[in-house]
Each structure stands twice: as C-alpha cells, then as structure tokens.
C-alpha cells in the first residue's frame, strides 16, 4: 500500500520561465504495480513562481494538492487501466486503436470501456463523461438530474485525448477542474474526485473529508445539457440564478 512521491524545485523547461510562463508546479505518475495502481510519482515546483507571502499560501497549497492528485492517477492515462472491486480490469480490450479525442483530433490509445468513459453530445459538442458507479451517483445527486450518466471531463485537453480534469463549465469550483480560480468557493476536493479515486479500484475514499461545492448545485439537467446562452433567444439560462452572462452579445459569454 506504499506510494513514493519525489518532490523537487527545479527551474525546468516545463516551468516556462524562459518564455514568460507562469507554471507554479507540475506532477505525474511514473510507475504502476501489477494491478496498474500508481506506486511512484513526482511533483516539481518552479522556483521562480513560488511566493512565500502569506496571502499566496492558500492558492499554492491548492495547486500542490491538484498536482499530487494527478500523480496519484487522476489522468487520462488511468481511465483504461481502472479496476473493478474484484481486481479485474474494467476495460478488457487493452490494444491501442484510433480514437476520436475530446478535441476531435485522432490518437491511437487504449480506449476505456463504455462503462468507464462514455462519449455523448451536450451543448452542441462531443463530451466525455466518467460514468463509473460512484461518480454517476454523485453527479445525479449534486446536479439534481437523475438522467445524467456521469460527470463531464474537460474537452480542452492540451495534448491529451480524453481529458485529465473535470470540465470547468460544469464543475468550476472543484479542485480538479483545469484552472486554479480565485473565486467565492475556491477549488475544493469534493465527492466527485473522491468517488473517482475509489472507482479506479486502487483507493478507498473517506467522504468525511469531502468539501462542499456551490457551482451548479441542484441546477437540474438543463444546466448540463443546454448552452449558457440560448442561441435562438439570446438569453442566458435562468438557473442557477446569476451564474451566466445576461445575453448572447455579452463579450464574456460562454458557449
């Protein structure tokens, strides 16, 4: 049950300091055991971006948690490796195949089973959902939408294929959304992430540590399935109240 995490503070090319980047940290898993469970990973913190000011601590702490979660297996490289409770593979076909990714590019990957990741059309685009048992149950309860099959992954994948984050549009305040947002709720470790880790078959979650989310809570199925601004009327979704921009002409409108 051991896990080894190597932590460094090197100004590497991934830090982006030479090109004016603002990467605080990055992490990855680097070894798995015979059941595909991550057993070794690393996290690097970019020295030029570390700020010891007290008012910067909380955001940097959340970034560290976010990156360590990737090193523990919250990554699209894990989706086809996930296990059932009896230790068997959720995805039985482990051969690479040409697959249409979240951003509609094509890559050769081991495609996860449809009981792990499902491809659906929402808001006029193709999306990938984590549809494992616990994640689906959490999503249905949180959004108050019994018809949703799971929780959406980010489609702006940045070189990946299926997405290694929760979708920002539907889970704005979750720790594993793509952006470290300075907003009213902060990025929080919710039941969504704990359920996903448990559904990997490699971990047992303690849900008493789950932090509550606010964005989209009890918003219903329209929040998940319809565009923020109705293209036919130019009006924003009314639920949740004051969540979206007021009209299609708003320069900050979402899609």
The residues that are catalytic are 67
Separation between Cα atoms, residue 25 and residue 9, nearest integer Å: 9
How many residues are recorded in the chain?
Answer: 255
Residue 247: which of 222, 223, 228 has the closest Cα? Answer: 228
> Mind spelling out the 3-state secondary structure of the chain?
CCCEEEEECCCCHHHCHHHCCCCCEEEEEEEECCCCCEEEEEEEECHHHCCCCHHHHHHHHHHHHHHHHHHCCCCCCCHHHCECCCCCECCCCCCCEEEECCCCCEEEECCCCCCCEEEEEECCEEEEEECCHHHHHHHHHHHCCCCCCCEEECCCCCCCCCCCCECCCCCCCECCCCCCCCCCCCCECCHHHHHHHHHCCCCCCCHHHCCCCCCCCCCCHHHHHCCCECCCCCEECCCCCCCCCCECCCCCCCC
């Amino acid at each position: 049950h051991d896990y080894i995490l190597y932590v460094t503070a090197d100004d590497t090319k991934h830090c982006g300091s030479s090109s004016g980047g603002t990467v605080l940290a990055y992490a990855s898993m680097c070894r798995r055991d015979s059941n595909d469970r991550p057993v070794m990973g690393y996290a690097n913190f970019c020295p030029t971006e570390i700020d010891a000011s007290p008012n910067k601590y909380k955001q940097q702490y959340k970034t560290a948690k976010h990156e360590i979660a990737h090193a523990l297996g919250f990554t699209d490289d894990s989706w086809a490796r996930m296990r059932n409770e009896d230790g068997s593979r959720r995805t039985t076909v482990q051969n690479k195949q040409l697959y249409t990714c979240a951003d509609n590019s094509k890559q050769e990957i081991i495609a996860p089973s449809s009981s792990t990741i499902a491809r659906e059309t929402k808001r006029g685009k193709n999306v990938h959902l984590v549809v494992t048992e616990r994640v689906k149950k959490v999503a249905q309860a949180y959004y108050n939408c019994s018809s949703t099959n799971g929780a959406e992954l980010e489609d702006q994948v940045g070189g990946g294929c299926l997405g290694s984050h929760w979708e920002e549009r539907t889970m704005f305040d979750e720790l594993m959304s793509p952006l470290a947002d300075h907003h009213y709720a902060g990025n929080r470790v919710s039941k969504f992430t704990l359920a996903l880790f448990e559904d990997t078959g490699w971990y047992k979650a303690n849900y008493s540590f789950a932090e509550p989310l606010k964005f989209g809570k009890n918003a219903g199925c329209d929040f998940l399935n319809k565009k923020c601004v109705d293209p036919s009327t130019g009006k924003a979704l009314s639920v949740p109240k004051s969540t979206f921009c007021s009209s299609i002409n708003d320069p900050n409108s979402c899609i």
